[in-house]
Structure 1
Amino acid sequence: MFVLHVGPHKTATTWLQQNFHHNIKALEKAGWLYPQTGERVRVAHHDLSDDPDETLDGKSRRFRELQAIARKANDRGLNILLSSEGFRNWKPEHLLRLKEIMAPHEMRIVYCVRDPVSTFYSFWAQQVKTGSKLSFPEFCQKQFRKPIRSRLLNPLVEIDALAELEDVDLTLLLYDEIRRRNDDIFDVFVQSILGIGPLPHVDAETANERQPLEMTEFMRLILLRVGSWRDEADTNIGRVFHHMLGERTREQIVSSVGAVSEARQNMTIDREQPVFRRAERQLLARYKASMIPSPAKRLFLEGAQECAFYDAEKLQADPTVRQLLDDVVRKVRPGGLRMWVMGWSRFWLMLWRRIVKAVRL
């Protein structure tokens, strides 16, 4: 069996990947190979999923990695597990080519379904963390312009395409149903999908860093001032803040932004909108037999979602916030010495991971 976990984002993917990586040896004893190929992110397979054309180019290093994974699994009689949200962006022909490389393992794609409104709000914050400058109202306007075609608002856009793949099984992991039952999604995954017993968890506090809204909005203000760090070892603002700002500075940012109460606003998203209820009905009608666990009644959550955000102009007009912006910009500006050091440190780290990976594979 070849299981391909494709996310999407904000469905506990980091928690799953951290635990898969933490249990590499235990998984192998139970018959599953979770390859250690991560360079950019150590615990997942984003390097393989980033660019399908390059990954599937028969002359590329990534293609040879895929071949090595398939060969290792066949030689040791192991199933294969790959996990990256990037695989959800692959076209059908890319996924079928990946299936051919991993043959004779039968392919099973695992897609996690979460209430779209909850996902939508969390995904906006994640996008800021990785470089988006859009305010929450701007993000909403963009997605709700054609909601039926939005991958965030209508999960069927992606799920229907995956279901059409020939000789590929599709499993839908129900995020909200798992939470209703007070189960852990990693436990459900390894027991119901991989067919093995429970495995130990990593420390929950290290699995993913959730930024307060105030930090998200401050990051966005920094991006509006200085742009991105993409030219510096593919560094994003979330990584910059994590490595460059101390705990005291972080606390000061959150408290200072939160103190500008006149800048805080709310937007309500109604879950009874046709795009959400129609998607829920069609998912149940088409794919109920493929869902884990079996849904009790509803797939999505009920009621309205209150989404808070901050007005950028009002924040920047506050003297304390403006001073913090000036201080942080001086510390983390693109092209500065600190960013140069960080970029080269990341380069050498990724190079080391590549060397270690070559030895393992």
Structure 2
Amino acid sequence: MTDELALTSDPPADDWRVPTGTRLLHIGPHKTGTTAVQAALFEIRDQLAERGIYYPSYDRHPMHAVLAVTGRHSMMGDDPPKGRHWDRLLAEVTAADDQTGVISSEFFSEAAPDAIARIVEDLGGERVHVVVTLRPLVKILPSQWQQYVQNGQRTTYENWLHHMLRVPPYEQPNPSFWRRHRHDRLIERWVDVVGRDRVTVVVVDDSHRDMVLRVFESLLGLPDGTLPAVQVATNRSLSLGEIEMVRRFNVEFRSQDELPDNFYSRLVRYGAIQRMKQARRPGPDEPRVTTPRWAQEQAVEIGQEIANWVAGSGVRVIGDLELLHQQLPEAAENATSEATVDPEAAAQALFGAIAAIPTLNGNGNGNGGSPAPPAPKPEKVGVPVHKVRSAELVRILARRARRRFLRR
């Protein structure tokens, strides 16, 4: 039975509210409104504490702790997760004693059954209530591909879709995708450990602004409007021109064998891409990544299977399961594989930001170490930099990064 969210009145907190002292575990998955929930909880964590609700305060999202307990790798170039990260999170949760705790991370969605059993036991066993937020798979596909590209992937969107949807066992180039987004199997893995009575599925309705925040208020027994909508600029999607330029850079970066992954992490993901997201807003006429009709149709079919399984699973459902298998109104016959706008402006901003970042220090991670060597002399390209094509800028940047790395 699906509960309808009454957005015009106070949420039915008494119906959805979890018992005091619950460890509310939000497991994502990715691209289902997790950032909005985490940003809101983190923003008012002190106020929540006054209401007897605990949210880990050392970071908006305990990614390293969750990667450690699930046994997953960190993102390209990041420091590897350590067991102490999970231990630290557990110590903070334990210190909260009988308060209601909220732990949110989309990386919980990648946990295997043995890791799920450990997570639940570590967090208090029967005190754990799992929340899964869902969006239509057809909307997740382009966003998730973008995220993979921002982590160094080189595959075009069309080729990625082909492998994820048409090439058994559908694991390459990203085995994590279906582990995260075959949502029926994801929910089943957690139900097997905690039971169906302690799992809530929230179907996010994008047509109702901040719907997911209102649901979390109800789960926690908070007044309507308590959780703020926090704008996170670095969470926006890239335009077609922007993401294609990043993908082409990845191809060039991977061709430079001497370059370490932490160069990519520092200079690209946390440097250029974040700067581009914060400093630039794509114009309304800039094309976005579009999913071809054949892929949309397959995603809708899978969404129907997921919705049917959830409906019969016995877990509590908030929202409309029909949303999981609705076709998007826009669909192209083929994926947009080439940027239809000139990416040079975005390329200049991106690579200009990278070139302007000071040389990494002696240990290569920007957190201390030997003094940085002097910046190299400007690259001789024969023409002013603003007239250099993006492909040439990629090669220039790669050569500069290589020289700096070898100099260290």
Q: TM bucket by the smaller chain? A: 0.7 to 0.9
Residues 98 and 344 (structure 1), Cα distance of their counterparts in 2 relative to 1, 3 Å cut? same
Compute the displacement of 1:89 (Å).
1.3
Residues 342 and 202 (structure 1), Cα distance of their counterparts in 2 relative to 1, 3 Å cut? farther
Compute the displacement of 1:2 (Å).
0.6
**Hey, which of these two has a bigger chunk of helix by percent?**
1
- From 214, 217, 236, the counterpart of 2:241: 214
Residues 346 and 80 (structure 1), Cα distance of their counterparts in 2 relative to 1, 3 Å cut? farther
- Structure 2 unaligned runs (5+)? 1-21, 73-81, 172-177, 369-408
> In the alignment, residue 48 of structure 1 is paired with which amino acid?
A
Compute the displacement of 1:243 (Å).
5.2
CA distance in 1 between partners of 2:291 and 2:61 (Å): 35
- From 50, 54, 59, the counterpart of 1:33: 54
In the alignment, which residue of structure 2 is the partner of 1:160? 188
Compute the displacement of 1:13 (Å).
1.0
**2:145 matched to 1:124?**
yes
In the alignment, which residue of structure 2 is the partner of 1:113? 134
In the alignment, which residue of structure 1 is the partner of 2:85? 62
Which residues in structure 2 correspond to 1:72-91 (within 5 Å)? 72-74=95-97, 77-91=98-112
Which residues in structure 2 correspond to 1:182-197 (within 5 Å)? 182=209, 184-191=211-218, 193-197=219-223
CA distance in 2 between partners of 1:21 and 1:267 (Å): 37
In the alignment, which residue of structure 2 is the partner of 1:133? 154
Residues 80 and 339 (structure 1), Cα distance of their counterparts in 2 relative to 1, 3 Å cut? farther
**2:3 matched to 1:3?**
no
Normalization by structure 2: what TM-score? 0.66
CA contact (8 A) 1:49 1:84 kept: yes
In the alignment, which residue of structure 1 is the partner of 2:354? 332
Compute the displacement of 1:327 (Å).
8.6
- Structure 1 unaligned runs (5+)? 349-361
Q: CA RMSD in A?
A: 3.9
Which residues in structure 2 correspond to 1:305-344 (within 5 Å)? 306=331, 310-311=336-337, 332=354, 338=358, 340=360
Residues 322 and 22 (structure 1), Cα distance of their counterparts in 2 relative to 1, 3 Å cut? closer
CA distance in 2 between partners of 1:30 and 1:247 (Å): 33
CA distance in 1 between partners of 2:304 and 2:193 (Å): 26
Deviations 1:169-227 (A, max 9, x none): 21111113xx3455521121121x22222314144364733322221111111111123
Residues 188 and 134 (structure 1), Cα distance of their counterparts in 2 relative to 1, 3 Å cut? same
Deviations 1:48-103 (A, max 9, x none): 11122679xxx9422431342233111xx311111111111122222222222232
CA distance in 2 between partners of 1:7 and 1:110 (Å): 8
SS in 2 for 1:26: helix
CA contact (8 A) 1:119 1:152 kept: no
- State the structure with more CA Rg: 2
Residues 104 and 279 (structure 1), Cα distance of their counterparts in 2 relative to 1, 3 Å cut? closer
How many pairs were matched up? 321
**Hey, which of these two has a bigger chunk of strand by percent?**
1
In the alignment, which residue of structure 2 is the partner of 1:93? 114
**2:266 matched to 1:235?**
yes
Residues 236 and 154 (structure 1), Cα distance of their counterparts in 2 relative to 1, 3 Å cut? farther
Normalization by structure 1: what TM-score? 0.73
In the alignment, which residue of structure 1 is the partner of 2:310? 283
Compute the displacement of 1:154 (Å).
3.2
CA distance in 2 between partners of 1:156 and 1:17 (Å): 23
Residues 115 and 60 (structure 1), Cα distance of their counterparts in 2 relative to 1, 3 Å cut? closer
